[in-house]
A and B are shown apart, each in its own frame.
Chain A
Amino acid sequence: MIGQDYWWVLLIKAVVVVLGLTTIAAYLTYAERKVAARIQLRLGPNRVGPFGLLQPAADAVKLLFKENAAPANRDRLLYLVGPSLAGGAAVLAFAVIPMGINNWFNYQFHWDIAHFNVGLLFILGVTSLGVYSLFLGGWSANSKYSLLGGLRSSAQLISYEMAVSFALIGTIILAGSLDLEQIVGAQQQTWFIVLQPLAFVLYFSGAFAETNRAPFDLPEAETELVAGYHTEYGSMRFGLYFLGEYVNMVIVSSIATTLFLGGWLPLFPFHPFDWIPGPLWFLGKVVVLLFFMMWVRWTFPRLRYDRLMNFGWKVLLPLGLLNILITGTVVALRA
């Protein structure tokens, strides 16, 4: 027994989560291309397999078989650490996200790998590791574009980390806990998106910046920086960055689902809604948020860098503080 589970249960869960997340990330690229295509009145990938469904597999094979071209003056160790962190840190955060609780034969099965009483802090900490992957990747390649991309991404991620964390504090006050399962449990009656609409908007705006997606994809900025921090990466090393980006999308959507959309709880707490199992509810909500992220990406142009910083420090952060103030006052007065 480790914690609440047998070690082999944990092992199976870990393997399932890692394989599942990479598969989901691969198919997110497919979904992204399909959504982009339909928005631009195109068809998208439809040649590999039925409806192009084998496209991610073909892309993965292509990436794996490509030559590992690398700049000669790179920092050898950090050049490898960058992509490893990008892929690893993103997957790690998913370990604590609860997707449901089931009682089978007197055995309480938690749909997560690890259960902390400070799960939210763990997620914030681990997702912050992603900054290192971007910055190390940009710095170690010894290229001007990569360096600029890395600098931008670290500045952007650090500023938005603040705003995002402030947005989350409101839900923590309401739930009175950092334990993700308890936060979901506190939403039995009403989801926190109803009580904290401002915080949800703030969090999700910040989430776009955290995942380096349009309209906040400054670190990549194809037009100015030639893909930014991963300019000098090729083959599967680039693939890991790509994977990390899409896993990060899943993580961010999962956090939003857990904190604001009631996690695995059904839409209404009565039949027939609660016949659908919790993990499916969780996945459904995540998919809706993921679609929204893609929809936004193919709608809005990229912000200028100074406007991005202004938006983070002068809009998101004060509004986050205001939200904490209001929430705190209301909770204190009602207590």
Chain B
Amino acid sequence: MIKELVLGLRFTITQMLRKPLTVQYPEEQKPVFPRHRGRHILHRYDNGLERCIGCELCAAACPVGCIYVLAAENDPKNPVSPGERYAERYEINLMRCIYCGYCAEACPTEAITLGPQYDLAEYRRERTVVTKAELLESWPRFAQARGPASPVGAGADSTARADPDPGISPRVAWDAAETAHGAPEAPQPGDLGVPTHVPTVTEPESRDRR
């Protein structure tokens, strides 16, 4: 019995002398695996042209319909992509996305892949629809390569894709409102996704409280 007790104590003290395994998450982050399927990335060629040719095969392959692509004709003098067309708008609804990677498989030019980013929580529902500006690989001539903002679009809803005039995407609407009025500190009752009447819990009257 004594031997086992001593063995146990020796084990814990040697554990104590080892280096802790804790990864202090926000400050320290472990690298993800090379084929981790996180948030999407839209890639460029080495010369800065976008790989995406606006073919919408990714949107067609998507089993949940979370990708919205609005294609536009390339200006031959100042092309955005090497093909005839490019994606004027490219939006992914990350709340709906199941990170299956079918879009990357379907893409003929390897323009879209699933990247390493996994911390995707947002305070606003609208922000979970990511736009092309966020998805696109950064490039020094980024502002030049990006076309003018389009007034139409539909976020990422598959029902809206069939709509000829899908309206303004919630993300664009939110960003516009934010630049115009400034962002509220926290979601208020009545905001998108927040019920108007938040039930409050009142404690029953009792003489026996304390």
Contacts and interface: CB of A to CB of B under 8 A. Distances in A.
State yes or no: do A and B come from one complex: yes
B47 interface: no
Interface residues of A, number: 16
B121 interface: no
Contacts, number: 36
Given A70-B210, A72-B208, A298 B20 contact: no
Nearest to B208: A72
A39 B12 contact: yes
A37 B20 contact: yes
Contacts of B201: none
A37 B21 CA distance: 10
A40 B18 CA distance: 10
Interface string A32-62: 0001011111110000000000000000000
A41 B5 contact: no
B8 interface: yes
Contact of B9 (A35, A40, A70, A299): A299
Contact of B16 (A39, A68, A296): A39
A295 interface: yes
A53 to B, nearest CB: 17
Given A39-B15, A40-B15, A72-B208, A296 B9 contact: yes
A38 B210 CA distance: 40
Nearest to A47: B24
B87 to A, nearest CB: 44
A70 B9 CA distance: 40
B9 A38 contact: no
A242 B20 CA distance: 27
B13 interface: yes
Contacts of A39: 12, 15-16
A43 B15 contact: no
Contacts of A42: 20-22
Contacts of B206: 72
B210 A68 contact: yes
A70 B12 CA distance: 39
A35 B13 CA distance: 10
Contacts of A38: 15-16, 20
A301 to B, nearest CB: 9
B18 to A, nearest CB: 6
A105 interface: no
B123 interface: no
A41 B20 CA distance: 4
Given A38-B16, A40-B15, A299 B8 contact: yes
Nearest to B21: A41
Interface in B1-55: 5, 8-9, 11-13, 15-16, 18-22, 24
Contacts of A104: none
Contacts of B24: 43
Contacts of A296: 9
A37 B19 CA distance: 11
23 contacts: A35-B16, A37-B20, A38-B15, A38-B16, A39-B16, A40-B15, A41-B15, A42-B20, A42-B21, A43-B20, A43-B22, A68-B210, A70-B210, A72-B206, A72-B208, A295-B9, A295-B12, A295-B13, A296-B9, A298-B12, A299-B11, A299-B12, A300-B5
Interface of B: 5, 8-9, 11-13, 15-16, 18-22, 24, 206, 208, 210
Given A41-B19, A43-B20, A72-B206, 13 more contacts: A35-B16, A38-B16, A38-B20, A40-B15, A41-B15, A41-B21, A42-B22, A43-B22, A295-B9, A296-B9, A298-B12, A300-B5, A300-B8
What are the 5 tightest A-B residue pairs by CB atom distance, in nearest-first order?
Answer: A43-B22, A299-B12, A38-B16, A41-B21, A72-B208
